[in-house]
Each structure stands twice: as structure tokens, then as C-alpha cells.
Amino acid sequence: MKNEFDALKFIMALKVWRKMNGFSVTDVIDLTGIPRSTYGFIEGGDKPPDMAQFSRLCQLIDFDAQEFFKTPEGA
């Protein structure tokens, strides 16, 4: 089976990181340069980030991007 982006895992990690570290949405968009509306769609699960946005967000939350592309066990 082809590795697929686990969007739910990424969105949850992003939200949890942001809230646990006391960051607002404005803080995240200021740090990443992602437009407010785009970030809202990403965090809301309505639109996946493009690769540049994904990379910036992973760097911000200190997550290994490869974690989100693993094949589920038993697949």
C-alpha cells in the first residue's frame, strides 16, 4: 500500500502543540507566513497544507514530517 498523508494526525498535533504552548492562531500565522484564511482551513481540516506550508508548520512544532507519511500497520 502507498504511504498516505495522515491529515487527522497532523491537525491534532498542530492544535495540541499550539494550545499547549500558549500560541494563538495569529502567532502561528506570523511565525509561518501562512495567510490567516489558509491556516484556518488547515487547522479546521478543510484543506491540507501544501508542501511548503507543511514543512514550515512541522519546523514550528518540531515534528518529523516523515511521521505523517507512514503506512498504517497491517496495511
* More confident site: 50 or 71: 50
Residue 49 near residue 43 (C-beta atoms within 8 A)? no
Question: What's residue 45's pLDDT?
Answer: 87
What's the whole-model pTM score? 0.77
More confident residue, 37 or 12: 37
Domains of the chain and CATH, by start: 7-69 (1.10.260.40)
Q: What is the pLDDT of residues 3-36, one digit of tens each?
A: 455 678 888 889 999 999 999 999 999 999 999 9
Q: How far apart are CA 39 and CA 48, in angstroms?
A: 10
